[in-house]
Structure formats: C-alpha cells, structure tokens
Amino acid sequence: MSDPTFATLVSGWYERNARDLPWRKPGIGGWAILVSEVMLQQTPVVRVVPAFQAWLARWPEPRALAEDTPAEAIRMWGRLGYPRRAVRLRECAVAIVEWHGGVVPDRLDQLLALPGVGTYTARAVAAFAYGQRHPVVDTNVRRVVCRAIAGEPDAGPTTRPADLVATEELLPIEPAAAALASAAFMELGAVVCTARAPRCAICPVESSCAWRASGQAAPTGPTRRPQRYAGTDRQVRGLLLAVLRESTGPVPHQRLDQVWHDDVQRARALAGLVTDGLVEPVGEESFRLAGDGPAVPLP
C-alpha cells in the first residue's frame, strides 16, 4: 500500500468513528491538550474524562494553576494515580507563565524543555493542539504500524527511534492532514487493533494489513505482567496521601501511623512521598502536602 493511502483510509475511518472525548473539541487549545496527555499516561480514558473536566473548570489556563499551590494540585488529582504527575503539571504551568507568557508553546524544542514533558507528550501537544506534522507514537500507534506495515503481531514494550521513523513515513506531507492521521492511528490501536482481541473485520486497512496477510495469530496472555497493588508501597503511599489530602493542616505522625500496620513499610512509603516532592515535614512530628499554605501570585 502507499503511505498516503494508508493515512487516508485510517483518517477517513476516524472522522466517522472517533469517540467523542472532551479534549478533541475544535479549538480546545494547548493547555487542555497538555493536561489531557499528562492525565492519560497509564490511566484509562473513562477515569480521565471527569478528572480532566474538573481540572480545567478550576484551572482553565496555566497561570491559574501556577498561582495555586502544589498541595491543591495534588488534592485535585485525587485518586487518578501516579500523583507525581500533578506536581509536574503545576511545574509546567509555572514554566509556561515564566518562559512563555502563560501560553503553551508551539515549538517542539520549547515543549520538550518543559518540566516532565517527554518525546511523546511534546509531539502530541504540537500535533493535536497546533496541527503540526510530528510522529506521535504511543503503544497503540506502535502496534498499528507494526502489524499493518511490518507484519509483526506485537511491537514490544518500549518506543524506539525506529518507531518514530516508521510512523513519520506514513504521515501525509500537509501538516493538518498529518495531525489528523496521528490521532487516527492512535484511535485505531485503542479501539480496533487492540493487543489481544483485534477487531480486524471492521478495520479500514484490513485488506492490505501485512500481519493479516501473514496469517500469524495475535499474542496470547497479557502484553505486560500486571503490577500487583495490594500490600505494595504504592498502596501505602495512596493511603497516606488520602489522609493528607483530606486535611486542611499538618497531620500528626500518630495519625499517619494508623493507616498501615507495618511500621517499616509505612516509614519507607512516607519517605518516598517526601523524596518525590508530594509531602513535606512540618517540624519533627507532623506532615502536610507539599506547599500547603496560602497561594502566592506570580509576577
């Protein structure tokens, strides 16, 4: 198949079948796209939608978040998981205000310079917010390209430079069409070309898919070993954060001692929260969310 044909077919399918998600509204803007992409890391769409809407209702632009405290960002993040992302998002907001006048930059190098913004997120913002031509490669896109073009059933666990090259070769030259294709490739992998139960009968490129032509079966078993949660430090961190989020002031050490029975594991989880910048000690016997106190307006 020719590259333009592949992108055209998948983009046409996307325009007819794309899920109605709030970050796909026309003219949604760079800040909303950045927030959505950070929230969607390792978190299902169904959980992100209400969190995304609540976040933007409170902080509709970077300055609003930058002028609030890290503690409020952590509170607002709630149980979305991996709360360090909330702190990073606020750090991004501060950098956007200080470096770019409160406007999310549209240059890839400037996006990559923002705190915690990596290769995928920077390209996603550049493509989806600003209609630029960049390969936006996540697990779903890698799987689509690997199957349809390379004829392999699985793309492996991590993104490699070769994945960016292979995806970019499929993009139309015109930037807006390329940005649309990037969103379409991602959607196809998320809802049709899934890891273990691909819906090949409704795939827009099924007839020319190299993997289908090869006759190989889809891999069996999970794509990666599920992470255990019960009894882990991650669970203990979540329990500690829940207590601190619900407090309006410092929490005595004795109160935190009640959330978990294992003293060594609890102390280790609490120390990790402090190291990650999520929690800070107050004196010798209390703790609070990082930066919990009156907000200080930026210049």
Q: How many residues does the chain have?
A: 299
CA distance 271 to 10: 48
Is 67 catalytic? The answer is no
Instruction: Look up tokens 């907001």; give the residue.
Output: 93
Sign of the Cα torsion 238, 243, 247, 250 reads: negative
Do the beta carbons of residue 102 and residue 92 sit within 8 Å?
no
CA distance 236 to 234: 5
- Which SS3 state, helix, strand or coil, does residue 155 take? coil
Instruction: Look up tokens 């016997």; give the residue.
Output: 285
Q: Which of 15, 37, 98, 169 is catalytic?
A: 37
**Please, is 127 exposed, middle or buried when counting C-beta atoms within 10 Å of its C-beta (0-12, 13-18, 19+)?**
buried
Share of the chain residues as helix, strand and coil, in percent rounded to the nearest 5: 55, 5, 40
- Specify the amino acid at residue 27: G
Active site residues: 37
